[in-house]
A and B are shown apart, each in its own frame.
Chain A
Amino acid sequence: MDQEPIFFHVDMDAFFAAVEQRDHPEYRGKCLIVGGTGPRSVASTCSYEARKFGVHSAMPMTQALRLCPQAIVVHGDMAKYHKVSRQIMGIFEQFSPDIVQVSIDEAFLDMTGTRRLYGLPRDAAMLLKRRVKEETQLTISVGIGPSKFIAKLASDYRKPDGLCRVSPGRETEFVDAIGLKKLWGIGKSTLDALARHHVSTTAQLREISLDTLRRLFGQAQGEYLYKVCRGIDPGIYSGEAKSHSISSEQTFPVDIGDEDILSQCLLQMSHEILARSLEEQVMARTVGVKIRFSDFTTISVQKTPTFPLYSAEQVYELAKELLLSKWKPGIPIRLLGVGLYQTYKGDAPMQEELFEDISKKQREIEKVVLKLNSKGREVLKATNMGGYVPSVGKRQKREGGAKGMSPSDVVEDP
């Protein structure tokens, strides 16, 4: 029986930039940064050519251009990326019935028990890569592992256009090979703290007991460190959906405490999730925000307004309010997410309103934009553009990830 768990983590290489380079041959082979151009804009995605200069996502645009002055900067076109993403996710769906899309450019595929269909995992991955390349001219990196965590690390191991498999039993070895510094979820401040305890390798980290780690780093982060250095999935993606939800989250390469940048992230994610809800023809009753601080403390707050949620602007307003209820500007955040919860099928709110709501009109506009885009036209709503400062950091989009948080999460409903 072939029932040992096998997960693929698929990551589209420099997704936004790659799409632009595909559609604009003149950008190919050049340093390309997708992002806004305003004084406070941040780089969203940059081509591999630009990365050589040290540019990375979530970097303030001014800094990115200082490092790489010759870079071409283009405004992102979320609607287009969304469409391409749907296309690629469609290919994934043909390979596995169980896919968890964690962001616009990232997904987990549960490939457990598919050997009879696709042969060895590596062959299945090769086939997947080829299909994506043929249909979209884009490259993806695939990581194969016995858990989502290992698969995620593996996809990052040989980017771009990578393929890396970690066999069961070799997780520790693989974690050692990656090294503490590149281990997912260990940032600079954690590294510094570990260094103070003379820990600079995963092997050294394994020598510290769980109790000690908990004492030094707190419950949540202590357990996290204990698990990751052993190659055990810390459960970052172990969300089982209770009810259908639509959410999006971003882990920042560097922790962010700037209110403007975080607001921009919220706005963008609000637009993204509302667009997805329109596409899936669901309405949501509740908006939730997830915040993970530098020390891995994670808070989720939700609010169910009495008015129907028609538009991305409403989602954003509520999300902003929720963020500010749990966070003070300046305090660094490593992950920020927005979600729509308590969804129900339908295009209109369950309860009809007496008075015309301006948000209802906004929803109609968003619907029209979506329709036009699905017909191949590229339309972007002015408010999206105005507010659009492209994606910061890794975007993780979730389907049904209502609970996709670590056990230490605090759920409150103010």
Chain B
Amino acid sequence: MKFVCEKNNLLKEITLALDFTSQRNSLSIVSNVLLENYDDKLTIKATDQKIGFSAEIQVKTVEAGSTTVFCDKLLGVLRTLPDGDVQFEEKDMKLVIRPIGQTIDFQLRTIEADKFPQLQIADESKYFSIPQSDFMEMINQTIFAISEDETRYFMNGVFFEHAPDCLTMVATDGRRLSIIRRKMMEQTAQFPSVIIPAKFLNLVKKMGTGEGTFELAVTETMIFARFEGHCIYSTLINGQFPNYKRVIPESQSFSCRVSIQEMLDALKRVSLFVENKSKRLIMDIESTGIMLSSEESDFGAAKEIIPCEYEGEPCKLSLNYTYLLSPLRVMEGDHFFLQFSGPTKAMTVKPDPERDYFHIVMPMQPQSN
């Protein structure tokens, strides 16, 4: 096998491919990247058996063929090479890498291409398109709410659900929940409700440009995405997502309107003194404003009052401040509503004006002692 290509073209794809290889063991075939070179095309494939990647770039094929090399090392080599055309040639189970017109010579051990696992493919009929901007916004509005506790594996991903006119994403860690229901201009193919691992969604976020469309295919066990010459996939989380609809309050007794920026700034300050383990923030909500405070800790205490629009009775709420911080960070607009019915009931956090997403947050015990 022999081909010539521009270094930066290959570097870009190998950088992406690395995330899909197994990082555990450099001698394993799944730590390698598969290079298939035919008809002036180079197909790059990587998989750790759970997630997979393939991409195609233009090269000059001198001699067709395929092989695999340790992805991490190939990336290291490419990063250090000067810009320009590079010749790749496989000889005696080694990939010889020579930048044209330079006196650099790398030889990378190879493993035969036929040992490389087959990548998964989806039935062509299952694919549907969705604007990249929509899909990435759905990920952004939910992904922070997933659980990182591996014993709650079924919450380690985002629930993805199909309805006739919209797609829904829900994420929860059992204490707070984020949901977005996005209306789709075009009909999407029917698919079963699934739990997409966070890792895959992070990769989509990283690789997507936000422009154009994603071609998605969702089966019972896999999700595929095609875009800009890439095809990536992941196995899904096999488990029962909790019945999220049941925990969304139908209505709330009180509603309080606050500036997103003012709340974010105040949280940044007061959270300095919030106890690290419980992360408990106390909010005293009155018509004159919200007082955010920390409990008295070994270091001291913090308090801040920010304006709000509120007409109910004074109310004291306690909550993990990160449950407010993370959704506000990605919320659009200038103001948000904090809606609640009592100190032990679920609160709703939603933008004003309302959009297609909102968040449910369970409070903490009002008092620790």
Cβ of B364: which chain A residues have Cβ within 8 Å of it?
350-352
Residue B368 CB within 8 A of the other chain:
yes
Residue B346 CB within 8 A of the other chain:
yes
Residue B37 CB within 8 A of the other chain:
no
Known A351-B362, A351-B364, A353-B362; contact A307-B242, beta-carbon cutoff 8 A: no
Q: Which of B59-67, B148-156, B181-189, B219-227 contacts A (4 or more CB under 8 A)?
A: B148-156
| B362, closest chain A residue (CB) | A352
Q: Check B174–A352 contact: CB distance below 8 A.
A: no
Q: Check A354–B174 contact: CB distance below 8 A.
A: yes
Q: Mark B271-305, 1 if CB is under 8 A from A, else 0.
A: 00000011010000000000000000000000000
Q: Check A305–B151 contact: CB distance below 8 A.
A: yes
Q: Check B152–A307 contact: CB distance below 8 A.
A: yes
Q: Mark A330-355, 1 if CB is under 8 A from B, else 0.
A: 00000000000010111011111111
Q: How far is the CA of A352 from the CA of B365 in the complex (A)?
A: 7
Q: Check B365–A306 contact: CB distance below 8 A.
A: no
Q: Check B176–A354 contact: CB distance below 8 A.
A: yes
Which residues of A in the span 349-396 have a Cβ within 8 Å of any Cβ on B? 349-355
Residue B344 CB within 8 A of the other chain:
yes
Cβ of B46: which chain A residues have Cβ within 8 Å of it?
none
Range of interface residues on chain A? Answer: 10 to 19
Range of interface residues on chain B? Answer: 20 to 34
Distance in angstroms from A61 CB to nearest chain B CB is: 35
| B360, closest chain A residue (CB) | A354
Q: Mark A141-171, 1 if CB is under 8 A from B, else 0.
A: 0000000000000000000000000000000
Distance in angstroms from B158 CB to nearest chain A CB is: 16
Cβ of B175: which chain A residues have Cβ within 8 Å of it?
351-354
Distance in angstroms from B2 CB to nearest chain A CB is: 49
Cβ of A305: which chain B residues have Cβ within 8 Å of it?
149, 151
Residue A285 CB within 8 A of the other chain:
yes
Q: How far is the CA of A285 from the CA of B278 in the complex (A)?
A: 10
Give the interface centre of A306, A350, A352, A354 by most chain B CB atoms within 10 Å: A354
Q: Check B151–A354 contact: CB distance below 8 A.
A: no
Cβ of B147: which chain A residues have Cβ within 8 Å of it?
306
CB within 8 Å: A-B pair count: 57
Q: How far is the CA of A305 from the CA of B177 in the complex (A)?
A: 19
Q: Mark B156-199, 1 if CB is under 8 A from A, else 0.
A: 00000000000000001111110000000000000000000000
Q: Mark B233-270, 1 if CB is under 8 A from A, else 0.
A: 00000000011000100000000000000000000000
Residue B363 CB within 8 A of the other chain:
yes
Q: How far is the CA of A354 from the CA of B179 in the complex (A)?
A: 14
Known A305-B151, A306-B148; contact A352-B363, beta-carbon cutoff 8 A: yes
Distance in angstroms from A201 CB to nearest chain B CB is: 52
Q: How far is the CA of A342 from the CA of B151 in the complex (A)?
A: 21
Distance in angstroms from A341 CB to nearest chain B CB is: 12
Cβ of B247: which chain A residues have Cβ within 8 Å of it?
354-355
Q: Mark B45-62, 1 if CB is under 8 A from A, else 0.
A: 000000000000000000
Distance in angstroms from A122 CB to nearest chain B CB is: 42
Q: Check B176–A345 contact: CB distance below 8 A.
A: no
| B242, closest chain A residue (CB) | A355
Residue B369 CB within 8 A of the other chain:
yes
Q: Check A351–B344 contact: CB distance below 8 A.
A: no
| B243, closest chain A residue (CB) | A355
| A285, closest chain B residue (CB) | B277
| B149, closest chain A residue (CB) | A306
Q: How far is the CA of A354 from the CA of B172 in the complex (A)?
A: 9
Q: Check A342–B277 contact: CB distance below 8 A.
A: yes
Residue B320 CB within 8 A of the other chain:
yes
Q: Check B151–A353 contact: CB distance below 8 A.
A: no
Q: Check A350–B368 contact: CB distance below 8 A.
A: yes
Distance in angstroms from B340 CB to nearest chain A CB is: 12
Q: How far is the CA of A345 from the CA of B368 in the complex (A)?
A: 6
Q: Check B368–A344 contact: CB distance below 8 A.
A: yes
Which residues of B in the span 324-369 have a Cβ within 8 Å of any Cβ on A? 344, 346, 360, 362-365, 368-369
Cβ of B176: which chain A residues have Cβ within 8 Å of it?
354
Distance in angstroms from A96 CB to nearest chain B CB is: 27
Distance in angstroms from A277 CB to nearest chain B CB is: 16
Question: Looking at the complex, which one of B277, B344, B346 makes contact with A354 (CB distance below 8 Å)?
Answer: B346
| A304, closest chain B residue (CB) | B277
Q: How far is the CA of A344 from the CA of B280 in the complex (A)?
A: 13
Distance in angstroms from B300 CB to nearest chain A CB is: 20
| 25 residue pairs from A and B, CB less than 8 Å apart | A305-B151, A306-B148, A306-B149, A306-B151, A307-B152, A344-B368, A345-B368, A346-B365, A348-B365, A350-B365, A351-B278, A351-B364, A352-B362, A352-B364, A352-B365, A353-B174, A353-B175, A353-B362, A354-B172, A354-B174, A354-B175, A354-B247, A354-B346, A355-B174, A355-B247
Extra inter-chain contacts (10) besides given A306-B149, A351-B364, A355-B242, CB under 8 Å: A306-B152, A342-B277, A345-B369, A346-B369, A350-B368, A351-B362, A352-B344, A352-B346, A354-B247, A354-B360
A-B pairs, 4 with minimum CB distance:
A306-B149, A352-B362, A354-B247, A355-B242
